[in-house]
Amino acid sequence: MCQNAFVPYKATLIPGDGIGPEVADAAVHALKATGVEIEWERAELSADIIMASGESLPLHVVDSMRRTKVGLKGPVTTPVAGGYQSVNVALRKTLDLYANVRPVRMLPGLKTRYQDTPIDMVIFRENTEDLYAGLEHEVVPDVVTSLKIITRRASARIARYAFDYSRANGRKRVTAVHKANIMKLGDGLFLKCCREVAREYPEIQYKELIVDNASMQLVMHPEQFDVLLMPNLYGDIVSDLAAGLVGGLGIVPGANIGEEAAVFEAVHGSAPDIAGRGIANPTALMLSAVMMLIHLGETDAAARLRAAIEKTYAEGKALTRDAGGTASTEEFTAAVVANL
């Protein structure tokens, strides 16, 4: 998608709420410093807007994404055990953003219990079905059923995306994660599709792990994993587990990619307790912006921004509190821009 330098890209900015606007402004500032021209459509979305409109995904957000095809999104508050539907789930289903992509990689200089372990994996999660279809029913009082939806189309599509990515990026191993020993039909179909697709990529090693064993292996020996491929629910849980190995959700990027549109987002929460204090860590959204640049074909700018973020961590002088420093959001951003 790389285009003429004099024609700016068009993209939707969804700042979100809580710390969302702060980290979104930091990411936009870093993107501007790369020299890539982006014309932003700002689509405001917050818990207050959702409650006022009565829709978890108001039309102005969908319309903007359909115009620009590319979005950068901060966190939006989602109520627990009631209230409106998750904005993320609604956005993914409405725009058919079927591939959730979560790179998990150790940043230099960041002190974690795994700091000496070479962790560098990419997690691919099917994004549109499974239990996240949201089909629940109270059969009788206090008895609820939830439907787990697994289809050949969705399973084969995410498997092919993961294998295509692996081939294009020199990844050597794909591990499908499942619970087909118990859910023999649903997860069995997912595995069947993964196996069929894997046969088309003989140069890539393919293996399978039951999700509980995979979780244990991730904690004990995370360096063994290269690419992980899984249905929606397991992918949601395991990708957060993996983020914890490298420092938490504040430093791990995410992308939701479909055939017509893509949204790049920080996957951490809106953290209302620190909103407005200027101490939020914008790393996750900045690294999501790196993924956005790659999607746009601006690979040189993406590499420079990633290198600037990594250099800032390696120097250790301008890190935010959650990363062991004392810097403000603004100071961290200034350091990244200076390292560009």
CATH code: domain of residue 91: 3.40.718.10
**Domain-ending residue, one of 230, 265, 296:** 230
| Co-location of 5 and 106 in the same domain | yes
Cα–Cα distance measured from residue 327 to residue 134, given in angstroms and rounded to the nearest whole number: 41
Q: What is the DSSP code string of 119-136?
A: -EEEEEEE-S-BGGG--E
**Residue that wins the pLDDT comparison between 50 and 173:** 173
Contact indicator for 43, 59 with CB cutoff of 8 Å: no
Domain end: 230, 259, 275, which one? 230
Beta carbons of 249 and 143 less than 8 angstroms apart:
no
DSSP class of residue 87 equals H
- Residue-wise pLDDT for 273-285, tens only, equals 999 999 999 999 9
Does 235 reside within a domain?
A: no
H or E element: which one contains 106?
Answer: none
Its pTM surpasses 0.85:
yes
Instruction: Give how far Cα 121 sits from Cα of 63, 72, 205, 242, 252, Å.
Output: 34, 22, 15, 9, 11
The predicted pLDDT at position 81 comes to 46
**Is the same domain home to 100 and 117?**
no
Please tell me whether residues 120 and 106 are part of one structural domain. Answer: no
Say what the pLDDT of residue 6 is.
63
Distance CA(23)–CA(249), nearest Å, equals: 13
At 318, give phi and psi (nearest 5°): -135, 40
pLDDT value at residue 52 = 83
pLDDT tens-digit map of 156-165: 999 999 999 9
Q: Is residue 239 part of a domain?
A: no
Q: What mean pLDDT do residues 111-127 have?
A: 94
Nearest to 321 by CA among 245, 243, 250, 244: 250
Q: What is the pLDDT of residue 79?
A: 58
Is 237 within the bounds of a domain?
Answer: no
Structural domain including 214 reads 113-230
**Exposure of 290 by Cβ count < 10 A (0-12 exposed, 13-18 middle, 19+ buried)?**
buried
Same domain, 262 and 299: yes
Q: Among 243, 63, 232, 59, which residue's Cα sits nearest to residue 148? A: 232
Catalytic residues: 132, 179, 212, 236
Asked whether residue 26 falls in the same domain as residue 85, the answer is yes
DSSP-assigned letter for residue 146: E
- Tokens for 273, please give them: 């307790």
CATH code where residue 158 lies: 3.40.50
Nearest-10 crossing angle of helices 186-198, 152-168: 40
Residues 6+ apart with CB under 8 A from 28: 13, 38, 40, 72
CA–CA distance, 106 with 294 (Å, rounded to integer)? 20
**241 occurs within a structural domain:** no
Same domain, 124 and 57: no
* Contact of 255 with 263, CB cutoff 8 Å: yes
Per the CB < 8 A criterion, the answer to whether 201 and 169 are in contact is: no
- Residue 216 included in any domain: yes
Is residue 63 one of the residues assigned to a domain?
yes
Distance CA 331, CA 340 (A): 14
* 129/196 same-domain check: yes
* Same-domain pairing of 102 and 126: no
142 lies in a domain?
A: yes
Question: Do both 15 and 79 map to the same domain?
Answer: yes
Residue 238 lies in a domain: no
Q: Which of 69-78, 189-198, 295-304 has the lowest mean pLDDT?
A: 69-78
The answer to whether residue 82 scores a pLDDT higher than 80 is no
> Which range in 47-61, 75-89, 129-143, 194-208 is most confidently predicted, on average pLDDT?
194-208
Q: Please enumerate in sequence order all residues whose Cβ is within 8 A of that of 110, keeping only pairs 6 or more positions apart, or say none.
A: 246, 247, 251, 313, 323, 324
Looking at residue 149, the DSSP 8-state letter turns out to be B
- Considering the domain architecture, whether residues 200 and 125 belong to the same structural domain is answered as yes
Closest CA to 215 of 234, 190, 192, 195: 234
Decide if 246 contacts 112 (C-beta within 8 A): yes
Split into its structural domains, the chain has a count of 2
pLDDT mean over 161-190: 98
The residue type at 52: A
Q: How far apart are the first and last CA of the chain?
A: 23
**Are 101 and 41 found together in one domain?**
yes
What percentage of the chain carries pLDDT values higher than 70?
96
Asked which of 230, 265, 289 is the last residue of a domain, the reply is 230
Check whether residue 223 and residue 128 sit in a common domain: yes
What is the chain's mean pLDDT, rounded? 93
